[in-house]
Amino acid sequence: MSEELTLLPCPACGGKADIIDSFERDDKGHVLVGWIAQCTRGCLTTSEHGSREKAAASWNALPRALTWTDEPQLGAWNWWRDECSCIPRYVYQDGTVAITMLIARVPYQDLGGQWAGPIPEPRPHEPVGEQEKNNV
């Protein structure tokens, strides 16, 4: 792998990623990126374009797990957890959180616990297969 390519760890298992293989199929170059070929957690991706750079960019764009911290992302939905629960909460730009059944908002610091966010937006559904494409 060339020195300028940087691959993020595997989004499924956290293992170190590497370019595993390059090959031709159907007159297109493919680059296989992943942790190890035997990984069973979905740790592989390919680039139809055959470019190592595009394969690395595609791999690095895969969603990664959120990290628990003491600070939430303001103006976004975050996971919040304490000893008893783990739920999504919206943290406003001013650092307050609405509590169910209460009119007032409270500072996120009053809740204690940990935060992980922002929670990513879902991707739009893309039809897969001829039947699903015909039903759109």
For the chain, the domains span 17-61, 76-116
Is the pTM here over 0.85, yes or no?
Answer: no
What percentage of the chain reaches a pLDDT higher than 70? Answer: 68
Between 125 and 77, whose confidence is greater? 77
Instruction: Supply the DSSP symbol for 105.
Output: E
Q: Does the pLDDT at position 136 exceed 60?
A: no
Per-residue pLDDT, 11: 77
Which tens digit of pLDDT belongs to each residue from 42-91?
Answer: 566 665 566 777 778 888 888 888 899 999 999 999 999 999 999 999 99
Residue 107: pLDDT band with limits 50, 70, 90 = very high
Task: Report the candidate in 120, 89, 115 with the shortest Cα–Cα distance to residue 97.
Answer: 89
Host H or E run for residue 54: helix 52-61
Per-residue pLDDT, 130: 64
For the chain, how far is it from start to end, CA to CA, in angstroms? 41
Q: Is 26 exposed, middle or buried (0-12, 13-18, 19+ CB in 10 A)?
A: exposed
Residue 123 to residues 14, 42, 126, Cα–Cα distance (Å): 22, 18, 9
